[in-house]
Amino acid sequence: MVFMETQPIADILPTEGLPTEGISTPDTPTPGLPPRGHEAKRASIIDAAGDVFCREGYAGANIDMIAAEAGVSRQTVYNHHHDKEKLFVAVVRDLTERSNAGVFATLLTFPDQPGDIEADLIAFAVRLNRNCICNREGKFLRKLIQAESERYPELFAPWRNDGPGKTWSALAARFARLAHAGYLQVDDPDVAARQFFSLINADLHMTMMLGGTPTDAEVLEAATNAVRTFLRAFGKTHGQAAQPALADA
Amino acid sequence: MVFMETQPIADILPTEGLPTEGISTPDTPTPGLPPRGHEAKRASIIDAAGDVFCREGYAGANIDMIAAEAGVSRQTVYNHHHDKEKLFVAVVRDLTERSNAGVFATLLTFPDQPGDIEADLIAFAVRLNRNCICNREGKFLRKLIQAESERYPELFAPWRNDGPGKTWSALAARFARLAHAGYLQVDDPDVAARQFFSLINADLHMTMMLGGTPTDAEVLEAATNAVRTFLRAFGKTHGQAAQPALADA
DNA sequence: AAAAAATTAGACAGCCTTGTCTAATTTGTC
DNA sequence: GACAAATTAGACAAGGCTGTCTAATTTTTT
């Protein structure tokens, strides 16, 4: 519990750049050949630690729990990650990388040349919810950030830089292009992007906050409601009060 | 740490109905005359406990910290609230009641007969953000719910029932009335209410998630952007792309 | 099959926290 | 001012958790 006052976590992060190796434990786990069972255990530990840290919080999590959940002895946890603090850093880094990868991949599926802009945006919103917001990484990362970011601000700097900031800009650029192509009427693409994000979560907020995972039907309905409103605000053809709302189900 | 598996917290809640008294400590604090310093200490303990629980999480908080922050000895904390668990319950109940009171009071300021609907809704959105979402109770409650609601679901049932659920219905009813009066064009008032809530937070999400408190200017800009979009979607006069957006600042 | 590496179970010291207890002090009331 | 109640500081036991160590076992490689 060294870092209650100061934040040595910040000193740890920059020293390790690579995603899943290069931790340089004292036993140097197989210099040339990476053993299969070894890395499998490492991954299992990271996964279990993610679950436990998110469920119990940093202070409430204990190593025995993590070891048991990973199907590994406590000593093995200490062999792979020197102490609880370094393990936590590794978990946050892992979640951040996976989450950013998911967001990036999903952004690539944005409908740049939409056939049916409403249907295409709804499908995109569903993907965004499923792959970025309601999935394991999204939920865990959000929970950890809310719980620990005030105590260890530097730990989440990579997320802040590569995560929402870049996501919003990227989405804003897509909207700007759609507007330029005549599909939308957008004054400020950045605002539109933020509001799009907000809208697709409007109906899921409560479920997410309580830790639940919405069903596919709920995600689809949320996306539909969101895109309908989004297009009423920013669409070119203002067919207001046209369709019978799907939303009242 | 009795309630890691079962949830005795649920058994505690219903037994105490009144807001700030009736805890019935073994010493029965002054049967007829409530001493002033006594209640002041109780409030101070609840406040400090709220701060510490939110900052450190339930597991990370410790009674010495709370006592110190309340300017009170540890024994006094135990005199007022038997143990850590009951203290936590009292804190959550206090936050829930204050938060709900704030939300209710703010809802009463909804512009039922708007002169300038955009300006009136913006002002209302600012109040909603300031008094319900960005204030101490809102932030703390949200953080505690995200951190602990999965472990102690019954503890937050009062919030779930009297909080967002009723708030959304109430706001939906107001929007329905505005629509009936010809100010808005709303298909599903419930969806519109949820989306209004989402929109007024779109620009503040990042700041709030990191634990920060947005400035008045940021709140105003967020409310302005939200209401502009909301009215583009649901307003009667679709003056799209009319005003030069304030949002690009 | 033999050797090397990793893993395991268990014990262990050190530290922290909860909740109790006691004696002394302060506060509020008559 | 006297009395009763509340508060305080401090010590204390019981229990939990971290991180280390050791000896035995398993897995992997040669």
Q: CB distance from A206 to chain B under 8 Å?
A: yes
Minimum distance, in Å, between the CA of residue A63 and any CA atom of chain B: 15
Distance CA A234 to C1' D16 in A? 57
Q: Using an 8 Å CB-CB cutoff, list chain A residues near B151.
A: 55
- pLDDT tens for B182-235 read 999 999 999 999 999 999 999 999 999 999 999 999 999 999 999 999 999 999
Q: Is the CB of A37 under 7 A from strand C?
A: yes
Q: Is the CB of A81 under 7 A from strand C?
A: no
Confidence of residue B165 (pLDDT cuts 50, 70, 90): confident
Measure CB to CB from residue B145 to each of A60, A209, A225 and give the nearest one.
A209
Q: Do B198 and A199 touch (CB under 8 A)?
A: yes
Q: pLDDT value at position A35?
A: 42
- pLDDT tens for A175-226 read 999 999 999 999 999 999 999 999 999 999 999 999 999 999 999 999 999 9
pLDDT higher than 80, residue B99: yes
- Three-class SS state of B184: strand
Which of B 142-171 lie inside 8 A of A, CB atoms?
Answer: 142-143, 145-147, 149-151, 153, 156, 160, 164
Q: pLDDT value at position B160?
A: 87
**Angle between helices A189-201 and A117-128 in degrees, nearest 10:** 70
**CB of A193 within 8 A of CB of A175?**
yes
**Closest nucleotide relative to residue A30's CA, C1' based:** C5
Measure CB to CB from residue A143 to each of B59, B146, B230 and give the nearest one.
B146
Q: Using an 8 Å CB-CB cutoff, list chain A residues near B149.
A: 209-211
| C-alpha–C-alpha distance, residues A121 and A229, integer Å | 12
- The arithmetic mean of pLDDT across residues B114-130, rounded, is 97
More confident residue, A116 or B243: A116
**Best residue in A191, A200, A227 to probe B by mutation, most B CBs within 10 Å?**
A191
Q: CB distance from B195 to chain A under 8 Å?
A: yes
CA atoms within 13 A on the CB side of A111: 17
DSSP codes, A224-249 = HHHHHHHHHHHBSS--TT-SPPGGG-
The number of C-beta contacts closer than 8 angstroms across A and B is 148
| C-alpha–C-alpha distance, residues A14 and A203, integer Å | 38
pLDDT higher than 80, residue B6: no
Q: CB distance from A201 to chain B under 8 Å?
A: yes
pTM of the model: 0.83
Q: Do A245 and B150 touch (CB under 8 A)?
A: no
**CB of B168 within 8 A of CB of B242?**
no
Measure CB to CB from residue A60 to each of B59, B153, B206 and give the nearest one.
B59
pLDDT in tens, chain A (249 residues): 334 333 444 343 333 333 333 333 333 333 333 345 778 899 999 999 999 999 999 999 999 999 999 999 999 999 999 999 999 999 999 999 999 999 999 999 999 999 999 999 999 999 999 999 999 999 999 999 999 999 898 999 889 888 888 999 999 999 999 999 999 999 999 999 999 999 999 999 999 999 999 999 999 999 999 999 999 999 987 443 333 334 443
Q: pLDDT value at position A163?
A: 84
Q: CB distance from A176 to chain B under 8 Å?
A: no
Q: Using an 8 Å CB-CB cutoff, list chain B residues near A55.
A: 150-151
Closest-approach residue (CA) in chain A for B244: A187
Average pLDDT, chain B: 84
| C-alpha–C-alpha distance, residues B200 and B193, integer Å | 11
Six token digits for residue B111: 């512009």
Minimum distance, in Å, between the CA of residue A27 and any CA atom of chain B: 33
How far out from the chain centre does Cα B92 lie?
A: 11
Q: pLDDT value at position A36?
A: 57
Confidence of residue B40 (pLDDT cuts 50, 70, 90): confident
Q: pLDDT value at position B9?
A: 43
Confidence of residue B94 (pLDDT cuts 50, 70, 90): very high
Indicate the residue type of A34: P
Q: Using an 8 Å CB-CB cutoff, list chain B residues near A240.
A: 185, 238
Distance CA A38 to C1' D26 in A? 13
Q: Using an 8 Å CB-CB cutoff, list chain B residues near A190.
A: 247-248
Q: How many helices (H) and strands (E) does chain B have?
A: 12, 0
How far out from the chain centre does Cα A55 lie?
A: 16
| C-alpha–C-alpha distance, residues B183 and A199, integer Å | 22
Distance CA B75 to C1' C24 in A? 14
Q: Using an 8 Å CB-CB cutoff, list chain B residues near A185.
A: 240-241
**CB of A99 within 8 A of CB of A160?**
no
Using alpha carbons only, how large is chain B's radius of gyration in Å?
A: 21
Q: Is the CB of A29 under 7 A from strand C?
A: yes
More confident residue, A119 or B3: A119
